[in-house]
């Protein structure tokens, strides 16, 4: 299993499909896939796509969004980056570039079609997947998600109670741009975060 994970990670690291055979417009810079696979982690963080800082460093969630996510989870950087405890699989492995307004573009579609089913088939030990943002929620929840991101996150407790394997917990993106959303939805902090922290402690910090 470890060998399979290592081979797949090596394949992903060398992927250049969004530059050499893209589904639409070519990636505007050299690809740098950022993903952390694991043969032992019981938790996976499924986010959207790396930002520019992550693209430059190769370290996922190496930005203020990562600081907020670690606070939500109640874990240190040491635990967060311990690949034996936590896998990190964004919907797009490379920084997608900026839109006309200077915001990050959506995750590249090539990654889901080429990699995601293989990735999750190679990590059957996962027991909890944190799905961050609408793109990850669409892939991992499908028709089980709400009509909006807010509705889906409101379903966090009921989704967790479904006893699915692995269990799924939907989250908003921890970007500081979502501070207004967090202020307008105080139930997230009072209801979802305690569940998130309890589950994270159970699966990665026993």
Q: What are the average pLDDT values for consecutive 10-residue runs of the chain, which has 206 residues?
A: 84 91 84 95 95 90 94 96 97 89 85 93 96 95 94 94 89 91 96 96 84
pLDDT at 2: 66
What pLDDT, on the 0 to 100 scale, is given for residue 206?
66
CATH number of the domain bearing residue 194: 3.40.470.10
Residue pair 88/44 in contact by the 8 Å Cβ criterion: yes
Secondary structure class of 66 (helix, strand, coil): helix
Q: What is the number of other CB atoms lying within 10 angstroms of the CB of residue 63?
A: 19
φ/ψ (deg, to 5) at 80: -60, -40
Candidates 43, 33, 42; CA nearest to 132 is: 43
Which pTM was predicted?
A: 0.94
Cβ contact 48:107 at 8 Å? yes
For 129, phi then psi, to 5°, come to: -120, 125
Overall domain count for the chain: 1
Q: Which domain holds residue 103?
A: 2-204
């Amino acid at each position: 299993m470890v060998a399979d994970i290592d081979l797949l990670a090596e394949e992903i690291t060398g992927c250049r499909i969004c530059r050499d055979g893209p589904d639409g417009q070519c990636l505007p810079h050299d690809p740098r896939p950022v993903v952390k696979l694991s043969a032992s982690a019981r938790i996976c963080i499924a986010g959207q796509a790396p930002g520019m800082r992550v693209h430059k460093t190769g370290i996922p969630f190496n930005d203020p969004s990562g600081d907020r996510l670690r606070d939500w989870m109640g874990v240190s950087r040491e635990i967060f980056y311990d690949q034996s405890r936590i896998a990190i699989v964004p919907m797009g492995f490379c920084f997608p570039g900026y839109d006309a307004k200077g915001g990050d573009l959506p995750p590249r579609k090539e990654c889901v079609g080429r990699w995601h089913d293989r990735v999750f088939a190679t990590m059957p030990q996962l027991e909890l997947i944190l799905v961050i943002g609408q793109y990850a929620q669409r892939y991992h929840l499908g028709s089980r998600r709400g009509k909006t991101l807010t509705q889906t996150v409101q379903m966090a407790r009921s989704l967790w109670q479904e006893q699915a394997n692995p269990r799924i917990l939907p989250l908003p993106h921890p970007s500081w741009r979502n501070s207004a959303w967090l202020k307008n939805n105080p139930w997230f902090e009072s209801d979802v975060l305690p569940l998130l922290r309890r589950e994270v402690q159970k699966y990665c910090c026993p």
